[in-house]
Structure 1
């Protein structure tokens, strides 16, 4: 799907919708949170740093937009039990999920594969690939309860065209491209 670069969200366009945004505390995640709340959506702000989540929350509230929900969770250490609890919390509080935006990610470091630190590789893959997979898997039941749900994965050009020294980040973005295309095929009629 292509969205015009001059598209602007309007007030109450998403009124009554519930959207979860990972990495909602800074950068693209915070910008999307502000736009979604301006459009009337209740945004579940997921991030690992409660302090910066609270700062972004304050910006949304001070702007007079729909009050978001803070959900601190470190995707690097999250387990299936954490995702199961998130699913229960969403279904108990909202009955459905209308959108899931996978924005959180880490770049890691730029270096040759042969020198790549194994712990950093694992951490990058956990946050950029495994967490979106598990989060999506556990939240599909909540998304299926919506009449018009969407899942959005943020990627990068290094996920389509390999470049030297992009290491785990580049590989993780190739994986996200594959995951999103596989899901698109599987969920085509939903």
Structure 2
């Protein structure tokens, strides 16, 4: 058995993580780096990524790349430019992990603001679609590419007051299933949708300000599920 491969199952894999500055994205990025991956850290503001960058560098991981990308305003051109930058730097992408998420509040459909509805759908559904589409050529250049979408319990059974966030997550589930169906052939892309459960994140704290966050699992507890998918079929 290759001991080094066992200790570093993601060695030489290029992994792009959105929402990497905090919460689940940060936990996944740090865990992947510890497992040997070279990270492309994406989030805004860029300064918030510096702490994650420093943690990876201090821990002896491969130096990551920083990819500032505003999912609230980015368009097709912006996502293609981001993908081109990754391609120029690494020549391929082995994994794309969508961890970024946004919900402004819990509200009845009766009262949901139209502008916020559009914003939530853009960040949680449209931008992940655009970024995935832009990165497909880089993923096809990988020996074992994988795209991981982060789902939610409200994506599988709608709950009152979750509004645009639930609608967007339902859409993301559909996107994952469609992409998986289309990704066969000679160079298939593995596609997964992961519901990490309720975690101690900034998003959760914003939606439930009266909740004691320390009654919830830390984001790091969900990272192993992502690492298992990232490791690749030839390394399991």
Return the alpha-carbon distance in structure 2 between the equivalents of residues 131 and 76 of structure 1.
8
Aligned length: 182
Q: What is the match of residue 3 of structure 1?
A: none
Q: What is the match of residue 87 of structure 1?
A: 83
84-93 vs 159-168, greater mean Cα deviation: 84-93
Root-mean-square deviation over aligned CA pairs: 1.3
CA contact (8 A) 1:158 1:173 kept: yes
Of 57, 60, 63, the residue aligned with 1:61 is 57
The reply on whether 1:98 has 2:86 as its aligned counterpart is no
Q: After superposition, what is the alpha-carbon deviation per residue over 1:127-176, rounded to whole angstroms, capped at 9, x for unaligned?
A: 00000000011100100000100000001010000111100111111000
The reply on whether 1:137 has 2:133 as its aligned counterpart is yes
CA contact (8 A) 1:10 1:38 kept: no
Return the alpha-carbon distance in structure 1 between the equivalents of residues 149 and 84 of structure 2.
22
Instruction: Mark the runs of 5 or more structure 1 residues left unpaired by the alignment.
Output: 1-8
User: After the TM superposition, which segments of 4 or more aligned residues of structure 1 sit over 4 Å from their partners?
Assistant: none
Return the alpha-carbon distance in structure 1 between the equivalents of residues 117 and 148 of structure 2.
24
TM-score between the two structures when normalised by the length of structure 1: 0.92
The reply on whether 1:22 has 2:18 as its aligned counterpart is yes
Return the alpha-carbon distance in structure 1 between the equivalents of residues 138 and 163 of structure 2.
34
164-173 vs 48-57, greater mean Cα deviation: 48-57
Task: Tell me the CA shift for residue 56 of structure 1.
Answer: 1.3
Instruction: Mark the runs of 5 or more structure 2 residues left unpaired by the alignment.
Output: 189-236
